[in-house]
Structure formats: C-alpha cells, structure tokens
Amino acid sequence: MTNEMRVLTQNGNDGNVLLCALCTIVIVSFIGASVLINCTRHYNITAKQLKGWKEALYAAEAGGDAGFDEVRKARDPTNLPFIVDGWTTAPSPAPTPGPAWTKTISGFGQGANLSTTVTIDKLTDNTGTIPSTTPYYRIRSVGTARLYGLPRTGLSDKFFAAGPNFVANSASRGAGDTLLRKIDFKYDHFKATYGDGDGNNLGSSPVPYPQITRRIELVAVPKYYVFGGALRVVNAFNGPGAPGFVDSYNSKNPTNPNPSSPKVINNDIPGPNTTSYYGSNPSNSTYLADAHDGDVSVAATNFIEGGPIWGDVTTNGGNVTHSGYQISGTIDNNVPFTIPPLPAPDTTGFTFTNPGTQTITANSTSGSAPTGFVYSGISGSVTIMNGNASDPTFPYAYAKIVVNGDITGKITVEKGVTAEIWFTGRMRVKGDDLDNQNVDRGTQTANPGSVGIPPSIPPTLADDPNPSRVGHMKFFGISPTISGTTQTIEIDSPGNIFATFYAPSADISLTGNVDVFSAIVGRSFSGDGNAGFHYDKALNQVQIGVVTDYQIASYVEDVR
C-alpha cells in the first residue's frame, strides 16, 4: 500500500476569475451610473423644470387676473380700485407716464413655492380712439416658481456672455431648454440685463433659491355699451300696446327700400314707400333676416306683453312661454343682469348756454371730443346746427349737451350732426318734438356743378361714420343722486321718433299712436296704444359713449 501525502497547492490562474468579475461589475456599474444620471437629468427636466416653467406662467396669469379684476372695479364708484387689499402706489420711478400701483401675492402653490407681483399703470389715449378722459390700463405680471431638484442638470452653462449682464440671444444664451426656460440659479438674469424691463435699475440681484420667472402683459381697454337689442329694462316691462309690435330692421342693409325716410304706411302691403321689412309682414322674405331681432330683456319677473314681439325675450325668474305670448324668438327666464347708474359727465370746457338760446352749432369732427354745451333746462326750441356742413371732405359734426333740468321742449338735430343729450330731470315731449333730420347710411355726393359753374369734387368723399339715423340722436338719463328718486321719460303722439334712450334709472312710457325707431335701456318700460317699436340692428355696432366694463385687448408674454 502506497502511502502518498497529497499536497495542495494554490493555482495562480484562479485570480483571473476575480479580475473578470470585478471588471464586469465595474462595467455594469458604469452603465448603471450612466442610466441613473440620465434618469435623474430627465426626471429633473420633466418633473421639476417643466413643472416650474408652467407654474410660473400660472402664477403670472393669476396676477394678471387679480390686476384685471381690480381694474374692473373702476366702473363702480362705491368700490374704488387700488386702495385696499394690498395694493400700493408703485415706487419711483413709476412706469411712464403713471400713476401706477403694485401688489404682491406670495405663498401659494405646493409648498408655497409660487408668487406673483402685479404692476398696473394707468394710460390715456391721444389717438382719438377713446376719450382722453377715459383711461386704459397696462397690467404687467411676474410669476415666480421655485425650482426644486439638482441645479444645472442638463442645461447649458452659457449664461454669461460678456460683462456682468446676461444676454438673451441664442448665440450667447445657449439653445434648447436653456434658451426657453431661462432658469435663474444664482442671479436674476432679467433684473441684471433689463432692470425693470425698460433698462432702468440694472444690477445683479441674487435669488434665494433657483427659480423660474415668466412675465406677461395685458392691456385692459374700456368696453362701451352698444344697443344689442330693442329694450333692456331692470324693473318691469309692459308693452307694446295690443295693436303695436316690436320688431327690427337694419339701416346698414343696402336692400332697405327707402333708407332716407322710412315711413310706416300700411306695413302689410309692400311697396316703394313702405318699410315692408317689419316683422308684421313676415311673409316678405327679403327682409326677414333683419326683422326678427327686436329682443326684449327684463331683469325681473315683471313682464306683460300686449302686441307681438319679433325677437327673443329674457326675464329673471318670469314665467314667459311661447304658448301664452306672441314671441317669435327664444325665451329664457333665467337671465339676471344689472345696469350701473349713469353718472353725470364732465362738462369742463363746455359752453354754458342761456336757456333762451334756440340755435347752437356743433363744430367738432371727433365723436370722442364733441362740442359741448350746458343748459339748465330745455322748454322752448333748440336746434343743433352742423358747423361742418360745407366741409368738402367731412361734413359731419358731433355735439354733447348736458341739461341740468327737464326737457319739455323741441330739439332739432340737423343732418350730419350726431348729438348726445344728457339730462338730469324728467323728459316729457311729443314725438314731433324730437326732430332728427339725419338719414340712414348718409353718403356725401360730389357736387356735379351747373351751367357756368365747374363741378366741385371733394378730394375724399366721406360716408357718414354712423350709418344709423337713429344713432344720431342719443338721450342719456343721468341717474338721480338722491336715493329713492326715479326719473321719468314720457313720450306722446303725434310724431314718430328716431332716437335712442339710455337711462338706467328712468321709467319710460310711450303713449298714443307713435312709431319708435329706437333702442332703449331703462328702469322700466310701458307702451300702449298703437305704438310700434322698431329696433335698428346697426345700433349693435355703434358705441354710445358709456363705459360699462373693461376688457382685455392684448396679451403678450415677455420672453426675454
């Protein structure tokens, strides 16, 4: 038996396996690390930077909404804007030309990471688009969102171009996300580069934490009332009389058979001298499209109908139905609305006129700056002359008369004159007393000349900017300042009426056999007898000079 000792020796080649395993682990670790870094980068961008970028806009728009909401208060004299709720006067230098107000809202959003600062400056228009006495507002809002996550991950580092300022173009600012998102990691790039946005107060402004800011600018302009329907009353409606009706026409419609002098003669028989487009003659399809817009709106339940209404009807809680009424259009009994009181206009620069003065002359060619007159009352006869009648290019004029009392006399508006008549007292006249000598779609024609006299052709023939005859004579009832006082407007026959009435605090009544070409806003309306009410649809595009609200006319994002 052989007894051999077995000697174990170490095999030097066994280390290769370990090395291979380590190398594999290293390679896999590198791959894993790359994946993790990549995932982190994508996570940061998609979850953090995108979130911040979008939330910054939400914050900016929230600020813009807060600013716009404050601007809208400007129409309510009992709730003046910019004096409470955190609004303060903007520090000097205020945005030109000022004045300006600012407000900061902070600490909202997840983890209170959002804030917004709003600045509003009050501007006036000098182009004649709106009266210089009516402001418009520029609302600038900055929304800031805190940026969470690791800084600079996945972004270009080309923030500094030359000198201390950031530069916005892609060549120096980088591309892609860097150019779009404009994240501030240590310094506010906007303040450093653009200061307040207009190049003022440049300087490095460290940020407490990485952030994204977005800036928007809104422009809020006045919204003027236009007559969108025949009658709009707050309190009660009772009309028209059983023989009468409410309908519509369109003075801009070139198929109007007799635009210069609409006559109400036997509406049921179309003819060259009849206004056959009324709703009383629905079989005449030529004018049907314009005939059924005599809309009536009542902000209460009080609605009594006599004759047919060719249009839509709304009430606030009424029980109007098609079966019980003669209404051609839609009916909605759930439409509330309010009409703010009408304050007295500014009469600075107006001519104070002797009550006995019978003739005044309008010379202004701007509807936003009409020739102004002040009367203490009109009981006699007043004629508003056209001072531009002989102008070869623009033979039209605008007048604004403020009557600090009653109107019981006759008012004549010459052809080419657009007159606003504001009054504080009551109005009691006959249809014949309101003499509107204008025509629908007034057009100036060239003088053809005559024997021995060469033709005089104006260089620019001007159509009347106001196509509606009715729109040339506009009455405004100034709301009484004594609580509980009601204004009255009473119009009796004979004579047809071509005028509009905007009197939110007035009870308006039409009696007798009058035809009214008009649009009315009032506290209440009643019409009896054979009173036909004809709404001119062209009034829907004619501003009557009363600001009822503000609206956003422009939205811009400052992408610097």
Site membership for another protein, residue 366 (CB under 8 A): no
Question: Where in 27-56 is the site for another protein (CB under 8 A)?
Answer: 27, 31, 34-35, 38, 42, 45-46, 50, 53
Question: Where in 94-123 is the site for another protein (CB under 8 A)?
Answer: 96, 123
Question: Where in 495-554 is the site for another protein (CB under 8 A)?
Answer: 541-543, 552-554
Site membership for another protein, residue 481 (CB under 8 A): no
Q: Which stretch binds another protein (CB under 8 A): 6-14, 77-85, 255-263, 278-286?
A: 6-14
- Give 43 or 350: the residue with its C-beta nearer to another protein: 43
Question: Where in 178-207 is the site for another protein (CB under 8 A)?
Answer: 179-180, 193-194, 197-199
- Give 132 or 351: the residue with its C-beta nearer to another protein: 132
| Choice from 90, 94, 105, 226 touching another protein (CB under 8 A) | 226
Tokens of 284: 């005449």
CA gap 125, 141 in Å, rounded: 22
Q: Minimal distance in Å, beta carbon 95 to another protein?
A: 9
CA gap 425, 298 in Å, rounded: 24
- End-to-end, the C-alpha distance of the chain in Å comes to 98
Site membership for another protein, residue 133 (CB under 8 A): no
Site membership for another protein, residue 13 (CB under 8 A): no
Binding mask 434-473 for another protein (x = CB under 8 A): -------------------------xxxxx-x--------
CA gap 189, 417 in Å, rounded: 57
- Give 27 or 265: the residue with its C-beta nearer to another protein: 27
8 Å CB contact between 67 and 101: no
Site membership for another protein, residue 2 (CB under 8 A): yes
Q: Minimal distance in Å, beta carbon 117 to another protein?
A: 16
Is the backbone of residue 86 left (phi > 0), alpha (psi -120 to 50) or beta? left
- Give 177 or 490: the residue with its C-beta nearer to another protein: 177
Q: Minimal distance in Å, beta carbon 390 to another protein?
A: 16
> Which residues contact residue 488 at a Cβ distance below 8 angstroms, ignoring those fewer than 6 apart?
426, 427, 428, 506, 507, 508, 509
- Give 289 or 462: the residue with its C-beta nearer to another protein: 462
Tokens of 453: 């006299």
- Give 31 or 265: the residue with its C-beta nearer to another protein: 31
Site membership for another protein, residue 560 (CB under 8 A): yes
Q: Minimal distance in Å, beta carbon 105 to another protein?
A: 21
Q: Minimal distance in Å, beta carbon 126 to another protein?
A: 8
Q: Minimal distance in Å, beta carbon 560 to another protein?
A: 7
- Give 217 or 490: the residue with its C-beta nearer to another protein: 217
Q: Minimal distance in Å, beta carbon 557 to another protein?
A: 5
Residues present in the chain in total: 560
- Give 404 or 541: the residue with its C-beta nearer to another protein: 541
- Give 65 or 432: the residue with its C-beta nearer to another protein: 65
> Which residues contact residue 437 at a Cβ distance below 8 angstroms, ignoring those fewer than 6 apart?
412, 413, 414, 415
The upper half-sphere exposure of residue 152, i.e. CA atoms within 13 Å in the direction of its Cβ, equals 7
CA gap 501, 403 in Å, rounded: 15
Site membership for another protein, residue 3 (CB under 8 A): yes
Site membership for another protein, residue 289 (CB under 8 A): no
CA gap 502, 422 in Å, rounded: 9
CA 482, 486, 491: angle at the middle one, nearest 5?
A: 140
In 222-235, which positions are buried (b, 16+ CB within 10 angstroms) versus exposed (e)? bbebebebbbbbbe
Is the backbone of residue 483 left (phi > 0), alpha (psi -120 to 50) or beta? beta
| Choice from 60, 142, 145, 221 touching another protein (CB under 8 A) | 221
Q: Minimal distance in Å, beta carbon 307 to another protein?
A: 32
Q: Minimal distance in Å, beta carbon 311 to another protein?
A: 19
Other CB atoms within a 10 A radius of the CB of residue 392 amount to 15
Q: Which stretch binds another protein (CB under 8 A): 126-134, 277-285, 290-298, 406-414?
A: 126-134
Measured in whole angstroms, the distance separating CA 176 from the mean position of its chain's CA atoms is 38
Q: Minimal distance in Å, beta carbon 131 to another protein?
A: 11
- Give 84 or 175: the residue with its C-beta nearer to another protein: 175
8 Å CB contact between 516 and 535: no
How many residues interact with another protein (rule CB under 8 A)? 66
CA gap 492, 428 in Å, rounded: 8
Site membership for another protein, residue 169 (CB under 8 A): yes
The residue with tokens 């703010």 is 340
CA gap 47, 501 in Å, rounded: 59
- Give 97 or 341: the residue with its C-beta nearer to another protein: 97
In 146-157, which positions are buried (b, 16+ CB within 10 angstroms) versus exposed (e)? bbbbeeeebbee
If 0-12 CB within 10 Å is exposed, 13-18 middle and 19+ buried, where does residue 264 land?
middle
- Cross-strand partners of 139: 120, 218
The residue with tokens 């004619």 is 542
- Give 34 or 273: the residue with its C-beta nearer to another protein: 34
Site membership for another protein, residue 6 (CB under 8 A): yes
CA gap 175, 412 in Å, rounded: 69
Q: What is the DSSP letter of 389?
A: T
Q: Minimal distance in Å, beta carbon 120 to another protein?
A: 13
Q: Minimal distance in Å, beta carbon 219 to another protein?
A: 4
The binding site for another protein (CB under 8 A) comprises 2-7, 9, 24, 27, 31, 34-35, 38, 42, 45-46, 50, 53, 96, 123, 125, 127, 129-130, 136, 138, 165, 167-170, 175-177, 179-180, 193-194, 197-199, 217, 219, 221-222, 226, 393-394, 459-463, 465, 541-543, 552-560
